[in-house]
Structure 1
Amino acid sequence: MSVEIERNPTRAVTIGNVTIGAGHPIAVQSMCATHTQDVEATTQQTNALFDAGADVVRIAVDSRKDAEALAEIRKRTAANLSVDLQENYRLAEHVAPHVDKIRYNPGHLYHHEREKPWQEKVRYIVGIAAENDCAIRIGVNCGSVDPDKLSLFPPDDSIAPMLSSALEHCELLDGLGFTRYCVSMKDSDPSKVIEVNRRFAEQRPDVPLHLGVTEAGMPPDGVIKTRIAFEQLIGRGIGDTIRVSLTVPNDRKHEEIKAGRGILADIAAGRVRSVVDFGLDTLNIISCPSCSRVENEAFVVLAQDVKELTRYAKDHAITIAVMGCRVNGPGETDDADLGLWCGPKYVNLKKGEQELGAYPYDEILGRLKEELDALIEAKTPGVAT
């Protein structure tokens, strides 16, 4: 089902029965949006993604109960499984026997056992992965970059800290004799995704890259933003595995696989276009793909409502972020002009890094419009909304 596209000669990394890099077909991934402890729902979605053509399916694990559920899910699916570790790196030992790949975020290693050096935590994860025949993904994300790296670069340079963090972790894994890993460096801005991956590939052409635009948003805009990045990178031979991250309801998660394979097919056939051909609005709405960490399923509906509400502002250079959980939401809304991150009962509204308060779901759209109108007026005095 994979598409043959000529790429850079990265080394081979095996994930279950799929191999990425070294000229192997580009693998397509997705992530479950169900609550992991709901074994029936998560198994059903895992198998639906697998049946749609997913080479790897990622599942989030945040607790021992999640890990116990994962063990049961493993028995019920033939999919290659990747686990998404967040703050608690110690969960690696509980999930590794049941998965084919472990993904950790360098920026999240600081949240648990803060007194320990991050290098010690990575050595632990590597040891567990080696013992359990698991690959590793070093997943660097624009909204949760290693704080020590952020302090080394100017505030307006978001690419250098991501690149530095990824390269530093690669060096550590290489020094430990563990080379069965790939790297991802994701941002909600396709141009930054292109630049950071291009620069990484120049310095570490041997390391397979997982490509994606984080918080790409809803279709069709989310697919278009992702296509822009993929066409530029894969067209240069960069990229060994991909994910199209879309804000869609649970019963439509398979659309990520369909979109990814469609983009690969178009690139292979030479059907590529310039950025101006896509006709995106100047207003930029970014929203995360729903996952098991979403505490209120109304998040997806809210993202759709935000897009509809803000159509009148489509010609204004404003970014609005809609995030589904408290794990990534606070940090990943910092760079937006207006940001919303969703809790179980309230939606937190931000203006840049400034917290504006938490509002019930049925009140947040009115408050968002007030702030958007004020922002438009401040940017373009005299323009009525």
Structure 2
Amino acid sequence: MTIRRNPTRPVPIGNITIGDGHPIAVQSMTATKTQDIDATVAQAEALRQRGAGVVRIAVDSTKDAEALAEIRRQTTANLAVDLQENFRLAELVAPHVDKVRYNPGHLYHHARELTWQDKVKYLIDVAGSNGCAVRIGVNCGSVDPAKKEKYAANDSITPMLESALEHCELVDSLGFHHFVVSLKDSDPSKVVEVNKRFAEQRPDVPLHLGVTEAGMPPDGIIKTRIAFEQLIGKGIGDTVRVSLTLPNPRKPEEIDAGLEIVADIQAGRVRSVVRFDDTKLNIISCPSCSRVENEAFVDLAAKVKEMSAYAQDYAITIAVMGCRVNGPGETDDADLGLWCGPAKVNLKKGEEPLGAFGYDEILPKLKAELDALVDAKKRMSTSTL
């Protein structure tokens, strides 16, 4: 099967190039604490040897940045850095990585006296001076607040699309073209729609594909495959990440899944259904990366999946998030959300906080809320008969 790829421009990332017809690169992210240099190097090398084109590392402090310098000396993996809210760390990390990723929705947390345009100009100047590529990473749960306010609450796609296009326009105007874009959601159908719409307007910009908070296997792999088959099969997508919730050390499994999905699509082996069944229980959970504040999050996600199985025939979404970066925003759209901190788990019903509970007491609290939702669904179903 021959897939006619979008004619995207080439973007060098270390010793590989994405876009412009080059092979689709599979990425992953370390799940170790960045300051644990030995463990992070070991995982980066394991990912590289498994076939990772790019390995992403989270940096959230100057100590993380200092550790990154040593990590760079000990691995030949192509490294990307995830800056989170602290965009000023760019100048500390850029000399040691091949790509810098920023999230437009996170540029509002620091230096609020500066415009987002000023912050992007700073990031691009740093990246350009150090020969780094850039990823403009737009996520459903952390979109520019001003963009969200312009559209109805049920339209999460247009704000993401506008944000990505706006940032591309600014970066282009700065004369910088070694950038890629990602537009991610936990719903595969939304991932497909927003990436198709972006590719129609900017077919020249390489796209990084992924379903954010895809969850645990096999469901997380299925959701990702659904999105990838409908995008890569149409020539959209130049690099991919399969984001899975898995115990440590496990990251090579993301690479295995990504390589298999891409190979199947390119060989014409389409395995998924057309769309994810949104009439059933949906458990979304973020990949257990280095931002996770308590490893108990991974076990909790598995327990939530097991406990909630009785509700599998109801259209209910439960989100289990592992850190402060994804937790607050990306549980808002779920019926029930768990935002896991170092010692407590924040329970939410939509955007409404219900309290913080210990890891050993959260499941009964969650079940009580889930029972109430199931009862409400049953009553609604009975009343429509």
Q: Specify the TM-score bucket, using the shorter chain as the normaliser.
A: over 0.9
**Post-superposition CA distance 1:351-377 (Å, at most 9, x none):** 000000011111101011000000111
Match of 2:243 in 1: 245
Amino acid at match of 1:227: R
1:10 pairs with 2:8: yes
Amino acid at match of 1:303: A
- C-alpha distance in 1, partners of 2:75/2:89? 21
Aligned to 1:293: 291
5 Å-filtered alignment, 1:26-41, equals 26-41=24-39
User: Could you list the runs of 5+ residues in structure 2 that have no partner in the other structure?
Assistant: none
Deviation at 1:328, TM superposition (A): 1.5
Deviation at 1:181, TM superposition (A): 0.2
Amino acid at match of 1:245: S
Q: Which residue of 2 aligns with 1:164?
A: 162
Q: CA deviation at 1:6?
A: 3.6
Contact kept? 1:221, 1:280, Cα under 8 Å = no
Aligned to 1:113: 111
Query: After TM superposition, which residue ranges in structure 1, 4 or more long, deviate above 4 angstroms?
Result: 276-281
Aligned to 1:184: 182
What's the secondary structure of 2:379's corresponding residue? coil
What stretches of structure 1 of length at least 5 have no aligned partner? none
Q: CA offsets, 1:217-257, max 9 Å, x none?
A: 00000000000000000011000000000000121111000
- Checking the alignment, whether the CA contact within 8 Å between 1:5 and 1:26 is kept in structure 2 is no
**For 2:201, which of 200, 203, 217 is the aligned residue?**
203
Evaluate the alpha carbon distance shift between residue 242 and residue 120 of structure 1 in structure 2; reply closer, same or farther with a 3 A threshold: same
* Change beyond 3 A, Cα 1:4–1:125: farther
2:188–2:275: 8 Å Cα contact kept in structure 1? no
Superposed CA deviations along residues 308-337 of structure 1, whole A, max 9, x for unmatched, are 001111101000000001122011000000
Counterpart of 1:53 in structure 2 is: 51
What is the alpha-carbon root mean square deviation over aligned residues? 1.7
The aligned amino acid for 2:70 is: E
- Measured in 1, the distance between the counterparts of 2:316 and 2:333 equals 11
In structure 1, the residue corresponding to 2:306 is in which secondary structure?
helix
Distance (whole Å) between structure 2 residues aligned to residue 123 and residue 203 of structure 1: 23
2:345 is the alignment partner of 1:369: no
Q: What is the TM-score when the length of structure 1 is the normalising length? A: 0.97
Taking the aligned partners of 1:293 and 1:27, their CA distance within structure 2 comes to 23
How many residues end up aligned between the 2 structures?
382
2:172 matches 1:174? yes
TM-score by length of 2: 0.97
Please give the per-residue CA displacement for 1:58-90, whole angstroms capped at 9, x wherever unaligned. Answer: 000000000000000000000000000111101
Q: Distance in 1 between matches of 2:228 and 2:293?
A: 31
Contact map agreement 2:225 2:272 (CA 8 A) in 1? no
CA distance in 2, matches of 1:317, 1:241: 32
Report if aligned partners of 1:4, 1:25 keep a CA contact under 8 Å in 2.
Answer: no
Q: Return the alpha-carbon distance in structure 2 between the equivalents of residues 234 and 383 of structure 1.
A: 38
1:347 corresponds to = 345
The 3 A distance-change label for structure 1 pair 148 and 31 is same
Answer yes or no: is the 8 Å Cα contact 2:335–2:350 preserved in 1: yes
* Paired AA for residue 208 in structure 1: P
Aligned pairs for 1:92-103 within 5 A:
92-103=90-101
Letter in 2 for 1:20: I
Q: 1:380, 1:282 → 2: CA distance?
A: 14
237-246 vs 267-276, greater mean Cα deviation? 267-276
Alignment partner, residue 356 of structure 2? 358
- Distance in 2 between residues matched to 1:318 and 1:82, nearest whole Å: 35
**What residue in structure 1 maps to residue 66 of structure 2?**
68
**1:139 lines up with 2:151 in the alignment:** no
